[in-house]
Every structure is written in structure tokens, then in C-alpha cells.
Structure 1
Amino acid sequence: MFYPGFSAEDKVRIYSVFGGIPYYNRLIDDKKSVKDNIIDLIASSGARLENEVSGYLNAEISKIINANEVFEALARGYSRYSDILSQSHVSSGPTLIDVLDKLIKMEVVEKTTPINDSNNKKKVGYYVSDNLSLFYYRYVFKYLSQLKIMDPEVFYVKYIEKDFDEKYVPHQFEEICKQYLIRQNRAGRIEPVIEKIGKYYYDNPKEHTNGEFDIVTEDEKGYVFYEVKFRKLPVSKSMIEEEIAQVDKSGLECYKYVFFSKSGFENVDIEKLEKIEINALYE
């Protein structure tokens, strides 16, 4: 099991940066804090993995500046083709398609569609699937000049700490929970077996609402909605009821609702609800 010396929370934090790559895992010191591992390995001048991302991109892609531009847009959360094109300032559509195709073949970017609208090209999304690349382009690449002249602790606090704790890790926790569901499904521990998993697109003209739910599964009984919470306080009944009401309002009909929580749950007893705490992911 990855990182045996860390708590379940810190396993999520460290995995969200280094993923499951064996080489990176061998460099992680579980006697140090998550912050110190990040500083020592990727977020300081001369860090062990400082040139890891740019190194393998240079080896695979001739026009590296285009890859850098695309990665920066993806790392900032732009996932639609048109948004990536406008935010990355890549010279043309065909050039962007070429870069995205190469990154997909390298398995550092993935192309996804909603499970309920898989043939709609307008709903295609592109996401960085390699954790170290995502971290590097979100926090390190655009501040390389500052990294070379600043104290690593000061750099971490100024450019990484707040966003990492409040946005980056909670988002990565969603992917970790999704991978947990896939592992459980492959092992035959989910009944009925999941046949589709991914985002779900909704468009409800009556309520004037549209958008995506990040994790929804489909099986022979119908849809299951998943909500992932990486927060300091336990998940409350009112919070769960609010999320379920939002799902119902969207028009998505689910036969079950599953909530993952870092900090557990208050005393909640709601029909069709399943609760999963963070420690279950590492049992």
C-alpha cells in the first residue's frame, strides 16, 4: 500500500501530487510532512524532480511551448476545446489538436465525455491525468523565476499552500474516490456491477439549470450519484439533503446516493443513502 507511514488524509494529499508512479514513491519520505516532501522533491530550486515533467515532455514533443501553453490552461481548470484554444493562445485549432493527441498518447492527458451523452462532441472534456504534471503546471512552471530566488518555505506559503489545501486536494480526492470505485467494481465487490462511470451532463429547461455532476455510475438498476467532501468538519444531514435536492432538481433520477467524507458524518439516516469514510479507501 502506498505511503504506509502517513495518515489517510495525508495519503490523499501526497498521492494527489505524486500519483502511483513507483519511482516517485521511492523518493517520498514518510517521516517528513507532506509539505516537506513537496518542497524537497518538486517545489524548490534543484529539487529532485524539478526537471522531471519538462524533461519527458521535451523528449516527446518537438514544439514544447505549445505543450506548456496547453498544460497551463488545463491546470487552471479549462477543459473544453474552445476554452483551451482561447486560454492557451496556441496558434491554430489543428496545432492544438496535434498537441492534445500527443499528450493523450503519452497518457498524461485524458479525453472524456459524459456517460449519458458520449457522442456529443460539444461535451468532450480534456483533463491532466498525470498528477505530477498537474501539480507542476498549476504551481511551479509559471513561477520558475521566483522559485530560483526565494526561500522554499516562503515560496510554498505564497504560491501553493492555500490553493493546494482548499481546491487542488479536494478535487484530486474526487479522482481517488472514483479509482476506488473502479477497483472495488473490478474485484466484484459492487452489486449490481457498475457498467459506466464518469461525469453526467444535465440540462433542465424548466428550472433553467444545466451543468455536470463529477461522479455518476450506471448499472442495470439505474443511476447512482456520488458526492465527495474533503473538509475539516463532518458532513451534516442538511448538507446531504441540499445535495440530493440539487440532483433531483436537475432531473437526474437516482436509486442511490453515495457520499465520501474525509471527516466522517454527523448522525444521518436518509433513505437511499450510503456513507463512506476516508479510511475505507485504504483498508
Structure 2
Amino acid sequence: MEQFVNRIKELNRLKALYGSEQAELAIIYGRRQIGKSELVRQSIIDRNDVVYYQAVQGTPTTQLSRFVETAASTFPSITSVKEEWEPLLTHLVERDAIIILDEFPYLIESDKSFPSIVQHLWDTGVDDSQATLILTGSAVGMIHTYLLDGGAPLYGRISQTPNGRIELTQLPFRSVQEFVPGYTPEDRVFVYGVFGGTPRYLDPLDASRSLGENITRLLCDPDGPLHSEPETVLQMELSEVNTYFSVLESIARGNRSRNEIAQGAGIESTNTSYYFDRLETLQIIEKHHPALADPTRSKRTRYKIRDPVFRFYFRYLYGRGGQYELYGENAYEDLIEPELPDFVSETFEELCHDALPELYPECTFTRVPSQWWYKGREIDVVAPTDGPKLLVGEAKFTNAPLGYDILNTLEETVEYIDWTPKTGGNPSYEYALFSRSGFKSSVEEAADDRTDIHLFDLNDVVDTFETDKTR
């Protein structure tokens, strides 16, 4: 059974809907395997007023008959109702039922009029009801088309409270650690960097096996449960997938700007907007702007793949099946393990960003800590405060101790940052250095001699994500 981890806020939001004194229509959406079904199942434990119907692909007739069969176990009187969606739903709404239509896009596939039926019911038949209708779906594009975008049939009918629209995203690192409690802090970072925070990707992990064994059996093995997951998800959502696959492979191999990605994918940069916009809507990729830049005006945009499993697939597995067969049992050790620290370094950097409020409790940050870049110069960590202090840092997830050259380059690069404190005057810089493998003595001596340099090892970062802080 899927572990139910860190969805307490969402669970409480659903229970608030169930306790409402008026009819409520809500949507739960998010990528496939993110935990939507488990969330709604947890929310209805011990209730006797629920119809939970998990839709599948089928004809309108089979959908209706399966729905009636499911609903009859809680509301037997529904068997006497005409088998059409509007009278069936009306019958349940009149009885203040909680109706959950899981994967409702399948209902739309079999009957395009289904959203309009719900729209009519909600506009005319729920005034005296305390029913709750929950729609869940993984087909993010379809959900936008029929529910969330202006002009959609159900646009504006979703509950206007914060509880009416629940988007499930990946679990944070704090929660992911609970899936591998016996792992070292370093290996937990590797797990998060490879498997991300999707519950269904984390459930098959075996904490009694090594990191390499888990990666091999779950991802690298052609019969592994996650090996073809990215292809499956993309083929469910997209047509002409070859171009999308080329774009994602280009990003996974380190290209970040639109021009770089287009060149790596072998397509004209002028033809990329459609593909990028579609992948963003589906939450497959996301764009970033430099720290301190105005995202509405900045043209310095970079793209990344949101889900580590997708990034891993397109960096190491896509189109390389023959190579893995050639290496056989040594494929992980020879092809992946030597590069894995570099692959996970992006995740480690993000964890360093997230850890800053805990590591610097005396600071009030006015923006989310992030990366900065300008004309070939980069800084891993930049975080402005409400005072004159600008926190800057480097995060290195390498096998070697961080040396003084990193600090020296950082001090030179900050001169190119254009930032004026809200308090006026010139900024003062605070230097934060993060390292997986410790620090050379020259760096430690500098930190001992100066008050503006702080050193943090991997354990310092991981310790800020103690699981009991969310309880």
C-alpha cells in the first residue's frame, strides 16, 4: 500500500469541504502517480455518505453502469434512477452525498457532454444541498481545458474558497526522507535527486538495498517499474512526442536557454514556443530567472525539468538501451555512478536554498533564495534581506573538499551584481559555502578569521529538514 506522507494540509482542506453547509465543487489535480487517489481515500475513511468512483476508459454505457453499481453500495435507491448522468448526480446531491469522481477525464473521453451536465446541475440544482463533488484528474491539459481556463464549461463553478482547488505537487525533501529511514544523510540527498518527491516513485524503494541497487532495479532495468514511466506519461498527454522527447533530452544534457535547447534538439529556435508552452502547462518543465531580476521583464530565462525521474530518464536511459545491454551488470557502475554527483548537484543546490531560513534565523529574506547569472558569470546562492546584507554562496556536491579558489571567485563575481538595499547605500556581503565533502584548510582558516564567511557541510543542510518540524 502507498505510504501516506505529508498531505495533512490537503487532507484538512478536503474535510473542510465535507463539513460545509452549502454544496461544494472541488478539483484535485496533479501529475500521474502524485498521490491524488490516496489523498481522497484517506479523507473518506469511516464515512458512510460517500460515493467513490474511479473512472476507467470505456463507453458511456459501461461508465454509467459501473457508477450505479458503485453508488448503490452506499445509496441503494439509486438503482431505480434513470441511468443518465444528470438524474443520477441529482439523486445523490439531494441526499447531501460526497461524490468523488476519480480520473474524471476518462468520463469526458467517453461523453464530451459530461462537463456541461455538471455545469447545468451546479447552476440549477444545488441551492438546498450540502453535497460535495470532488473531481480528480492527471490529464493536466484536459483539466485546464474543461475546468480552469476562462471559457471552460466548469470555470467559475469551483468553490471559491482555498479548498476548492487543490494542486498536488511533489513531496518535499523533509517527507521523502521517511521513505528511506535507514539511509545516510548523503544517500537521502541522492534519493531525492534521482527519485524526486512523487509518492508512487518512492514507494518501491527498498531501504535494505543500496542506492545503486535501487536505481538499477527500478530505473535501469527495462522491466523496472519506473523505467518507461516518463514515456508513458508524455504519450498520455501529447501527440507528436518525438519533438518533445528531443527537447527534454536536450535540457537533461545541460542545455538551459531556449536557443541552446533548440540547437541541442535539432529544431529551429523560432519554432520552440509551442513545445515549451505545452511542457510548462503539463508541469514537465519550468523556467527560471536570475535572483534579483524582475521575472516579468527579464529576458535571461533558463529551463529545467521539474521531475528528477524524467531528468534521469532523458539523461541516462532514453535511446541508450543497446549501450546498457553491452555493459550488462556493470552498467550502473560504469555509466551512471561516476556522473551521479554531478546529476544530483542541482538538487543539492536547491536544498541549500531551502535551508537558508533555518541556517540564518536572524535574517529576513525578501525573495526566495535562488541562483544568479549574468554574461557567463554564475553564483549558486543569492538571497537579499530587508537590510543592507546580501547573502551569496556556492554549493558544491563533489567528491573533493571545497577550496579557496571557489571563495576567491565568489568574491570577485559579487562585484557584478546590481543590487541596492532597501535601506539605501551599498550592500554588505555574507558568504555561505556549502560542500558535500568538507573544506580545505585554507577555507576553514578564512572562516575562522572572518565573521562574514560561514561553512556548511551536507549534514548541516540535511539537519534543517528534520521530519518532526512538520508534525
User: TM-score, normalised on structure 2?
Assistant: 0.53
Deviation, 1:144, is 2.4
Root-mean-square deviation (Å): 2.5
Give the SS at the match of 2:318.
helix
Matches of 1:88 and 1:130 in 2, distance apart?
19
- 306, 316, 334: which one aligns with 1:139: 316
Matches of 1:46 and 1:181 in 2, distance apart?
40
- 231, 248, 253: which one aligns with 1:71: 248
Tell me what 1:264 maps to.
Answer: 438
Residue pairs, 1:212-227, within 5 angstroms: 212-221=378-387, 222-227=389-394
Give unmatched runs, 5+ long, in structure 1.
204-209
Seen in structure 2, the aligned counterparts of structure 1 residues 194 and 181 have a Cα distance that, compared at 3 Å, is farther
Judge conservation of contact 1:215–1:225 (CA < 8 Å) in 2.
yes
Tell me what 1:211 maps to.
Answer: 377
Matches of 2:216 and 2:333 in 1, distance apart?
11
Matches of 2:256 and 2:334 in 1, distance apart?
26
Query: Which structure's relative contact order is higher, taking Cα pairs within 8 Å and 6+ residues apart?
Result: 1
Deviation, 1:219, is 1.8
Deviation, 1:272, is 0.7
Tell me what 2:461 maps to.
Answer: 281
Matches of 2:283 and 2:189 in 1, distance apart?
21
What do residues 180-225 of structure 1 show as CA deviations (whole Å, max 9, x unaligned)?
Answer: 337x49xx9462234242222345xxxxxx4232321112124211
Tell me what 1:173 maps to.
Answer: 348
Give unmatched runs, 5+ long, in structure 2.
1-174, 419-426, 464-471
User: TM-score, normalised on structure 1?
Assistant: 0.85
1:32 pairs with 2:209 = yes
Deviation, 1:23, is 1.3
1:191 pairs with 2:363 = yes
Q: Percent identity?
A: 26
Aligned pairs, number: 270
Tell me what 1:206 maps to.
Answer: none
Deviation, 1:152, is 4.3
What do residues 139-171 of structure 1 show as CA deviations (whole Å, max 9, x unaligned)?
Answer: 000302333x34543222332122223x21223
Q: Which moved more, 1:44-53 or 1:249-258?
A: 249-258
Q: Which moved more, 1:224-233 or 1:33-42?
A: 224-233
Q: Which amino acid aligns with 1:105?
A: T
Residue pairs, 1:1-283, within 5 angstroms: 1=175, 2=177, 3-90=180-267, 93-94=270-271, 96-118=272-294, 119-147=296-324, 149-150=325-326, 152-165=328-341, 167-181=342-356, 184=358, 189=361, 191-202=363-374, 210-221=376-387, 222-236=389-403, 238-239=404-405, 241-251=407-417, 254-265=428-439, 266=441, 267-268=444-445, 269=448, 270-283=450-463
Tell me what 1:207 maps to.
Answer: none
Give the SS at the match of 1:146.
helix
Matches of 2:368 and 2:385 in 1, distance apart?
7
Q: Which amino acid aligns with 2:275?
A: V
Q: Which amino acid aligns with 1:102?
A: R
Seen in structure 2, the aligned counterparts of structure 1 residues 179 and 21 have a Cα distance that, compared at 3 Å, is farther
Judge conservation of contact 2:396–2:434 (CA < 8 Å) in 1.
yes
